[in-house]
Every structure is written in C-alpha cells, then in structure tokens.
C-alpha cells in the first residue's frame, strides 16, 4: 500500500512543479500519459520559475534516488538543453542540508563521546550537502584537517519506499511493454538496491577509497584522500581534507593554468585504467565528486571523492568489452556481431550477417562525422536500441560501466569540447590487448600461481591415483553399459522376430480357413463369439512377449 501512496506523492509533486510540460514532446504511451493527467494542482508561484529550476526542485523534493538520476543527467550537457543542465548540476553538491546540530548528535552517538573531545574546530555548518549524506569540516586533536561525512537521518525509510515503487514499475515494464523482457528492469533494480544500500554504509565507502588509493599509489594521475579508520563508523566517515579545484569550475582551472585538453584525456585514461587494469572502477564520477590538484599543472592530477559506488568486471567481461570496443573503433561490424553472439548478448541463433548489416546501417552514417563530434556513449545507446530487433538483452553487470562511460565522456567534453574519446581510448585498448597476448605477461601470471601449485604438489600423487582409478571405473562402467545395450538390442530383435513368426502363423491359419471353407457360408454361420475368440487369439499370438 505504501508504494501506491508514494506513486501518488510522486505524481502530485510532478504536477506541483508542472513537469508534464517537460514531457509533452515524448511519446510516453496512453497509460503513462493518463497518470500525468490526474487532477493534482500546480503551484502558481512555482510556475514562474524556469523549467530547469522546477525540475531540480522536484527531484530534490522526491528524494535521493531521484536526485541521483538528476546527477547523471547533468553530466550530459551535450544531450540536454543548457538551462536544464546548469540547474541539474546543482544537485551534485548543493542539495538542501539537514540541521548541523542534528549532524553533531549523530557523530557523538556513533563515536560515544563529545565532538569537542575528539575534534578541534568542528563546523556545524555543512561544507557540502548531497543526496545521501552531508559533509562537515574539523581538525583532529593531532592537527590534521579532516572532513566528516554524515548519513542523513531517516534516509533508509525513504529509500526503502522508493525501491519498492521502482520494483513495482520494473515488474510492470517487463510484463506489459514490448521491450520489457530484454531490458531486464527487475534485475537492474535489484542491482541498484544492492548499490544504494552499499552507499548507506560509509565503512564500505571507506574500504573502496582505500583500495582505489592503493591501486594508484604509484601513479600520479589520481589522488585519493586518506581514511581515518579510528573515527569511521557505518553512518560517519572521517577522511583527509583536500583543497583542490572542483572540476566543474572551468574558469578557476584556466586561472590555475591547468591544461584542459590534457585534463580531459587524463580522465579517459583513468577510466580505462580502472576498468581494464584494475577491474575496479569508480562508478559515480559526476563533477561533484571530482576535484583537480592545484599542483602538476602540466600533468593534471585528479582527486576522487565519494567512493560509495564501485563496479567490477569479470575477466571474460573485460575481454569481450575490449574486443567489442576495438571492433567498433575499427568499424569491423562482422566482428562486433560475432562477439555479441559469442558472449551471449544476443541469442545463439541470431543471423550474424543480418546483425552485421544492422550494425553497419547504424554506425556508418555516424562515422561520416568528425570523430570529435561523435558521442561514444550516445552511439552505444543507439546500437543497443537497434540491437533490440535481435532480442539483445541489457547486461546488468555492465549497467554501471555504461553509466560511468556516459559520465566520463560528458565530463571530458565539458572540459575540452573537441575531446576525441576514440583516439584517446584506442591506443590504450590496443596496448592492453597486446599486453594480454604477451608471453611475458602470461609467464608472470603463471609465476603468481606457482606458490599455489607447490602447495598442492604433495597431493599430486593421490590426485593422479584418484584420477586413474576414476578413469578405470568409468571405462568399466562404459563397457558394462555397452554390453547391456547390446544384450537389450539382441533381445528386442528376438522379440520382433517372434512377433513376425506368430503373425505369419495366424495369417496362415486364417487363409487356410478361407480357402477350405465357403467364405460367405462361413461368415454367416459362425457365431459372433467365435469371431471375437479367433481375432483375440490372433492378437495374442502377435503381441506375445
């Protein structure tokens, strides 16, 4: 019942901010259109605001899940009207805060002591406020500057209600819409449920940040602040304070003489390094989470915050993704089609030649443009929509990756509009592929497995003996089974021969009667009971086992 009430609340808020005006250009279908025509009133004062402001305020009022949707949209300035993109960008770190006194109580309850006994210069006014948590500044008693991230009180109940509603909508989509099954909406919501609950656990976020810091400890392109574990709990996180430039402050970056072209290309490099070298990638790279160091202006350094949402790929997914991207880069549509079938993204009976032709018809008109004008993320989305003809299913394991790629491209083009993601990514992918095929790399992998092999070495004789014993047993069982099958086959042939013999005998008896007896008199004079008895006898002779 609560989820239906929440749906009504969403529609009421949408009407309040006149959001139906933003949706008039979209063909939503009759059921959805009717929902937006429910008799909810709009606020006349809000009607005077710009459409971007109304959308942002509506998403803020709807809560964290909708705010995160707005954050994703804000990164695609190349796909949104600028007035809307500018307003949605404020969702990244300017969400309405909750009371600082309440935040202080949460911190004291979590750490079991007064804030003044643990920190110096604690600020009750938040430094930044986002959808799930807000941040306050302080100093440790030892003097280090820190920020304290505090989860919003009562946010768990709001998220639970919204997730219940999203699950209901996903079930509706899969059951009643044409493309519902291939979109696998229920599976996506299930994954998002897991992700957002991870985001509520700040200890998990701290662990992600620690791992990311370790992954880039020998690489200056990305810096991750230190986590202070002694002061971190499920609902509060204490980390090193940084003083970088928000990546969305383009004018400030220019004043600091940051090479914006190099900065944009470095962002792409960080993304592909995380995905293909570490298989552990920051999946929430919107501008509110990314800063730039004021140092290293010629070789810009990113600073990653908010490590709540991370993704990873299996080795198979990595290989298939890399091969698909390389094939698209090289316009090898046959290879793209074969890979989609091979990795199970389309059914195994998909006609490869038809799928190849479809890919070519989508890509070739796009590739006629200069590469720097092509949105790679938009191209992938268009390919997915087109591949729906071949029952291509959305891969839940790649949803976070697709979202992150859209973020990275949107961010890069904001920094440097002429960013050519294709040329930046292609050398990386080719080097990665060569590295995978290198004999030395494979020897390193083998070397890494040597300790495990040595540990299992004493068990090798027993394993060999068990294997040989199982092989002999299996061979004997196979021979016995073959003998039994041959015996059964011979018995079946014998029974069939007996059937044919008895049938022939019965036919011979019947023919003799018909020859030596007048057939008409015979049929008229013979009682029905004798006829039935005769045919029953013939039947028994034929079907005798």
From 298, 294, 202, select the one nearest 247 (Cα to Cα). Answer: 294
Q: Are residues 6 and 110 in the same domain?
A: no
Q: Are residues 404 and 531 in the same domain?
A: no
Domain end, chosen from 91, 122, 142, is at 91
Asked whether 80 and 73 are in contact (CB, 8 A), the reply is yes
What is the DSSP code (8-state) at residue 40?
A: P
From 59, 62, 55, 7, select the one nearest 35 (Cα to Cα). Answer: 7
HEC states along 237-252? EEEECCCCEECCCHHH
Rounded Cα distance, 399 and 228, in Å: 32
CA distances from 15 to 36, 64, 128, 472 (A): 7, 19, 29, 76
Q: Are residues 490 and 532 in the same domain?
A: yes
Interacting residues of 416 by C-beta distance below 8 A, sequence separation 6+: 260, 261, 263, 264, 265
pLDDT value of residue 124 = 93
Q: Are residues 280 and 358 in the same domain?
A: yes
Residue 455 resides in a domain: no
Q: Are residues 268 and 336 in the same domain?
A: yes
Q: Are residues 231 and 296 in the same domain?
A: no
Asked whether 410 and 78 are in contact (CB, 8 A), the reply is yes
| Active-site choice (93, 162, 284, 420) | 284
How much is the mean pLDDT over the chain?
Answer: 78
Q: Are residues 169 and 122 in the same domain?
A: yes
Residue 464 resides in a domain: yes
The tens place of each residue's pLDDT in the chain, 545 residues long, gives 666 677 788 888 888 888 877 765 544 444 545 555 555 667 777 778 888 899 999 988 888 778 877 776 776 665 677 788 888 878 866 678 889 999 999 999 999 999 999 999 999 999 988 888 999 999 999 999 999 999 999 888 888 888 888 788 778 777 766 666 666 677 767 777 877 787 889 999 999 999 999 999 999 999 999 999 999 999 999 999 999 999 989 999 999 999 999 999 999 899 989 988 898 999 888 787 899 999 878 889 999 998 988 888 888 778 878 888 888 888 898 998 888 888 777 888 888 999 899 888 888 887 777 766 777 766 776 776 677 778 776 665 666 777 788 778 888 888 988 887 777 788 888 887 787 776 665 565 555 555 665 666 676 676 666 666 666 666 666 777 777 777 777 777 777 666 666 555 555 555 555 554 544 454 455 554 554 555 555 555 544 54
Q: Given the DSSP bridges, would you call strands 290-292 and 245-246 parallel, antiparallel or unpaired?
A: antiparallel
pLDDT value of residue 454 = 62
481: domain range? 460-542
Asked whether 198 and 156 are in contact (CB, 8 A), the reply is no
Rounded Cα distance, 376 and 380, in Å: 6
Query: Alpha helices of 177-259 — where are they, by DSSP H?
Result: 180-183, 185-200, 202-215, 250-255
Q: Are residues 250 and 289 in the same domain?
A: no
In degrees and rounded to multiples of 5, residue 223 shows phi and psi of -120, 135
pLDDT value of residue 267 = 92
Torsion-angle region of residue 306: left (phi > 0), alpha (psi -120 to 50) or beta? left
The pTM (predicted TM-score) of the whole model is 0.69
Residue 497 resides in a domain: yes
Q: Given the DSSP bridges, would you call strands 290-292 and 302-304 parallel, antiparallel or unpaired?
A: antiparallel
Rounded Cα distance, 168 and 189, in Å: 10
pLDDT value of residue 30 = 46
From 293, 144, 156, 145, select the one nearest 222 (Cα to Cα). Answer: 293
Rounded Cα distance, 378 and 376, in Å: 5
Rounded Cα distance, 258 and 261, in Å: 9
Q: Are residues 344 and 417 in the same domain?
A: yes
Residue 443 resides in a domain: no
CA distances from 2 to 9, 161, 164, 168 (A): 10, 7, 9, 12
Residue 447 resides in a domain: no
Domain end, chosen from 223, 256, 289, is at 256
From 57, 401, 90, 68, select the one nearest 248 (Cα to Cα). Answer: 90
Asked whether 59 and 66 are in contact (CB, 8 A), the reply is yes
What is the helix (H) or strand (E) element at residue 398, kind and residue range? helix 396-415
pLDDT value of residue 520 = 47
Asked whether 272 and 429 are in contact (CB, 8 A), the reply is yes
Rounded Cα distance, 377 and 410, in Å: 9
Asked whether 135 and 103 are in contact (CB, 8 A), the reply is no
What is the helix (H) or strand (E) element at residue 261, kind and residue range? helix 260-272
What is the helix (H) or strand (E) element at residue 471, kind and residue range? helix 460-516
Q: Are residues 306 and 336 in the same domain?
A: yes
Rounded Cα distance, 272 and 151, in Å: 31
Per-residue pLDDT tens digits for 135-185: 999 999 999 999 999 999 988 888 888 888 878 877 877 776 666 666 667
- Concerning whether 349 is annotated as a catalytic residue, the answer is no
Residue 448 resides in a domain: no
Q: How many domains does the chain have?
A: 4
Q: What counts of helices (H) and strands (E) characterise the chain?
A: 23, 11
Domain end, chosen from 30, 60, 91, is at 91
Q: Are residues 382 and 284 in the same domain?
A: yes
What is the helix (H) or strand (E) element at residue 303, kind and residue range? strand 302-304
Q: How large is the greatest C-alpha to C-alpha distance in the chain, in angstroms?
A: 127
Using the Cα atoms of residue 230, residue 124, residue 158 and residue 13 in order, give the sign of their dihedral.
negative
Residue 8 resides in a domain: yes
Residue 224 resides in a domain: yes
Asked whether 64 and 133 are in contact (CB, 8 A), the reply is no
What is the helix (H) or strand (E) element at residue 134, kind and residue range? strand 133-140
From 401, 400, 395, 421, select the one nearest 410 (Cα to Cα). Answer: 421
Q: Are residues 292 and 239 in the same domain?
A: no
pLDDT value of residue 24 = 58
């Amino acid at each position: 019942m609560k989820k239906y009430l929440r749906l009504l609340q969403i529609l009421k808020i949408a009407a309040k901010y006149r959001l139906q005006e933003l949706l008039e250009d979209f063909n939503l279908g009759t059921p959805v259109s009717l929902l937006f025509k429910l008799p909810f009133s709009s606020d006349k004062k809000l009607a005077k605001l710009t459409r971007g402001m109304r959308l942002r305020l509506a998403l803020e009022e709807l809560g964290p899940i909708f705010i995160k949707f707005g954050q994703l949209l804000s990164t695609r300035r190349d796909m949104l009207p600028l007035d809307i993109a500018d307003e949605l960008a404020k969702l990244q770190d300017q969400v309405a805060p909750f009371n600082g006194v309440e935040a202080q109580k949460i911190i004291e309850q979590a750490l079991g002591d007064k804030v003044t006994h643990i920190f110096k210069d604690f600020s009750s006014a938040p430094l930044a406020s986002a959808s799930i948590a807000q941040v306050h500044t302080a100093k440790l008693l030892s003097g280090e500057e820190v920020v304290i991230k505090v989860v919003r009180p009562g946010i768990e109940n709001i998220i639970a209600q919204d997730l219940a509603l999203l699950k209901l909508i996903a079930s509706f989509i899969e059951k009643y819409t044409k493309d519902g099954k291939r979109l696998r909406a229920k599976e996506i919501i299930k994954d998002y449920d897991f992700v957002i609950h991870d985001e509520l656990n700040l200890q998990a976020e701290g662990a992600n940040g620690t791992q990311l810091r370790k992954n880039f400890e020998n690489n200056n392109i990305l810096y991750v602040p230190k986590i202070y574990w002694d002061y971190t709990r499920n609902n509060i996180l204490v980390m090193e304070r940084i003083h970088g430039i928000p990546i969305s402050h383009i004018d400030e970056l220019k004043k600091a003489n940051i090479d914006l072209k190099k900065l944009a290309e470095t962002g792409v490099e960080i993304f592909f390094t995380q995905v293909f070298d570490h298989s552990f990638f920051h999946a929430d790279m919107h501008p509110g989470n990314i800063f730039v160091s004021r140092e290293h202006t010629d070789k810009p350094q990113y600073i990653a915050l908010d490590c709540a949402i991370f993704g990873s790929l299996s080795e198979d997914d990595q290989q298939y993704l890399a091969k698909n991207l390389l094939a698209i880069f090289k316009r090898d549509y046959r290879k793209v089609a074969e890979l989609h079938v091979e990795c199970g993204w389309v059914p195994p009976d998909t006609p490869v030649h038809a799928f190849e032709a479809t890919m070519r018809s989508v890509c070739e008109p796009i590739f006629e443009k200069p590469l720097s004008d092509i949105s790679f993320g938009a191209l992938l989305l268009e390919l997915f929509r087109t591949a729906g003809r071949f029952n291509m299913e959305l891969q839940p394991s790649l949803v976070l990756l697709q979202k992150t790629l859209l973020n990275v491209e949107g961010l890069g083009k904001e920094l440097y509009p002429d960013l050519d993601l294709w040329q930046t990514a292609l050398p990386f992918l080719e080097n990665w592929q060569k590295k995978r095929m290198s004999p030395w790399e494979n020897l390193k992998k083998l070397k890494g497995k040597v300790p495990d092999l040595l540990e299992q070495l004493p068990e090798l004789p027993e394993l060999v003996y068990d294997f040989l014993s199982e092989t002999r047993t299996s061979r004997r069982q196979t021979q016995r089974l073959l003998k039994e099958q041959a015996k059964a086959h011979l018995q079946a042939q014998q029974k069939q021969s007996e059937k044919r013999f008895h049938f022939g005998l019965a036919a011979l008896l019947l023919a003799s009667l018909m020859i030596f007896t007048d057939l008409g008199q015979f049929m008229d004079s013979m009682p029905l009971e004798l006829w039935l008895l005769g045919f029953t006898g013939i039947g028994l002779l034929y079907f005798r086992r």
